Structure 1
């Protein structure tokens, strides 16, 4: 049993003062306001959102792709070729060390769980490891080291494009048939079962470009109650390719041919029409938004205001992990709406300030995307909790809503004092409890990796 006491806590959607939170077996047992200070004391207690979309290995590429390439104009597609060359040298040991470092940074930024969209399965050249789930086991091992709550999504990646062409030189490490994918998924399940009980295994068809229609129809049945994630409508060239080969724009095809519901998290969706946005929001699927990566890759701007006006759920991910910051992802999401619409405080309502709405909605949507019973501070939920230090100079003397706004729009991870993942107290005083060892392992991994570039 753990006891926390918060001067202010956002409990089931409302601010309460002097709140005692009791945690048992990783879950919140009770939340009681107006209590004397006992146990672990914090200032401002919030639900910690899940990071709903990560390619952990790409963290080691941060800053390496900002030079002008040989082509007239750089784009997502030229970046992708550089990424393919980079990943050819990655070993399982390096992937484990990099992933643990990424998860540590997520926790220190205020995320309470991680959803790993994991498509790096095989050896360079495409030959499987003796254990087909070797790389999935490395992701799980990293989570054991960092302590983060993990939703592991092994990715099905069959083709190099909508025309069914073979995987290119940089893609062979991703490839599986539906049968070999089922074998891999079974091995990944064994790895996840060794982790704490808040761990989740889901499935992920990579995109309409990379899987067959038959696989898309059958894959949800492999794990009937688990989350399903898929990239959708990220780039204009992708929309054109899908329309040419599938006879419809990606979102329209998905709406007409897939049983979209609350199990689905659709990543990016930066290339949607107004009609597609409204219709997809109403399915109950979560939009998996990665604003910093979407800006870095020139994807476009997600139509967030129209989405939430149609009761759409949102979650936040760090995708390429060039920068891992909960505050900055939320800030970028709102400021892109302002830039497009010439507005301010785009997501604010009369009842909720911008920062509060963004964080609350990301926590609830992120829990849904992760298949994780969290997202709110209430009895029965996993204790994924984030505490802000209101002793920080920029938070001094602020009301809870204004403190949240300041964290999102004027702050950063330095305002995060403590984070719990399913009750595991992993960040204290703004620092992960195993930071030194995780960082040293990461240094060793990237030192060797970058020496070969």
Structure 2
């Protein structure tokens, strides 16, 4: 067998937009060569505009099945905390089969939107009554199986969840499926690491749920039991009440506590980090950690607005995730990130970075780089040494008529969205072809069956 050659009329490379790009992909799915201004002779011609596929760094797959079911007002003031109680009720109903069916459908939707890697922040560990499964990693293993069905890359991030509030408070009843001690959690991590070892598309890390759900001592113990390069994702400063509770307990704000207790680095991803002071914003940006932003979910939950303008000015790294999956679209999350800044500051092109620069291009490339770093996956560029994870925009679509380069990218992000994604490759495999996934009918049928079971 030989390497595969693919030719694109236009592609976004680390050198910028280039015409006539021929990419050679090895049998291992990695890019061997990229030749610009090539004729494409002897290569498979792929119509459209090639861009690196986007990593999705924050997913709670089990929440996908409740889409549209938490948009009815309650008797009092609705908030993140009332939504959380509703989510607990839904989460306690999923079986392993249900989770696999829901996750597989979600992962197909991610691929069709232009994502190629998912970071699964998975905390639904045990049976509904809190009893461990015979394999304590059962639910996370089902997410790996779902990723295999879909053909998406995955960084599986089992969640360390031990307490119900700051200072080691007793968990509430709704959290019974989530709870582990250090040894139980490390057993789950080891089981998943075995499944990921040597696998082209799998990586393993951890996700301490939040500073509410772990103590610094517990987290330090767990970190000492995992490889030094394993990624660490943590929710932090998502809600004002969380900040207030942390201050009442410790005299510190959540990001302050995180920066004080741990040596943050590029292996850390701070999910949300919505409510920060200017000093915290600069400290997180300079730490090398990635801010894992989920703008559509953050808007849906009423979390607040991330200080993206100042964070990027401080040199901070960002990535995006679809979190509770109200929508699944890298374009929509990047758009929401920019629009939130415009609404707050009464301006336009808030995150463009300078006169004449494309806002979409700056956000897209920032999220690519931060996402690859967060996922510890060799993706994010059309260049030798990277995996061939590519999304192809439909240059024949009416919205892209007469547009190329940054104009096409801006049109995708700020107008066209998922409808402009025509093809997606993961590790050289053509997983979405002309907007169709080879297994989408079977996966959708299983998903519908799961929804019907869960509705009874």
Q: Is TM more than 0.5 here?
A: yes
What's 1:15 paired with? 17
Deviation at 1:218, TM superposition (A): 2.8
Query: Which 4+ runs in 1 deviate beyond 6 A?
Result: none
What's 2:397 paired with? 392
In structure 2, how many angstroms separate the alpha carbons of the residues matched to 1:192 and 1:58? 24
Indicate yes or no: 2:297 matched with 1:306.
Answer: no
Aligned residue runs from structure 1 range 73-222, under 5 A: 73-193=77-197, 196-221=199-224, 222=226
Residues 83-120 of structure 1: CA deviation (Å, up to 9, x unaligned): 00111111000000100111100000001110000000
**What SS class does the counterpart of residue 282 from structure 1 fall into?**
helix
What's 1:379 paired with? 384
**What SS class does the counterpart of residue 174 from structure 1 fall into?**
coil
What's 1:426 paired with? 431
Residues 136-162 of structure 1: CA deviation (Å, up to 9, x unaligned): 110110011001001000010000111
> 2:271 is matched with which residue: 240, 249, 267?
267
In structure 2, how many angstroms separate the alpha carbons of the residues matched to 1:86 and 1:272? 31
What's 2:326 paired with? 322
**What SS class does the counterpart of residue 412 from structure 1 fall into?**
helix
In structure 2, how many angstroms separate the alpha carbons of the residues matched to 1:13 and 1:284? 24
Between 401-410 and 217-226, the greater mean CA deviation after superposition: 217-226
Indicate yes or no: 2:65 matched with 1:60.
Answer: yes
Q: Tell me the TM-score normalised to structure 1 length.
A: 0.97
**What SS class does the counterpart of residue 21 from structure 1 fall into?**
strand
Q: Tell me the TM-score normalised to structure 2 length.
A: 0.96
Residues 271-300 of structure 1: CA deviation (Å, up to 9, x unaligned): 111221111101110000000000000000
**What SS class does the counterpart of residue 210 from structure 1 fall into?**
coil
> 1:360 is matched with which residue: 334, 357, 365?
365
Q: Structure 1: 5+ residue runs without aligned partners?
A: none
**Does the Cα contact within 8 Å between 2:238 and 2:274 map onto a contact in 1?**
yes
What's 1:235 paired with? 239
Q: Structure 2: 5+ residue runs without aligned partners?
A: none
Q: Number of aligned pairs?
A: 449
**Does the Cα contact within 8 Å between 1:203 and 1:223 map onto a contact in 2?**
no
**Does the Cα contact within 8 Å between 2:392 and 2:424 map onto a contact in 1?**
yes
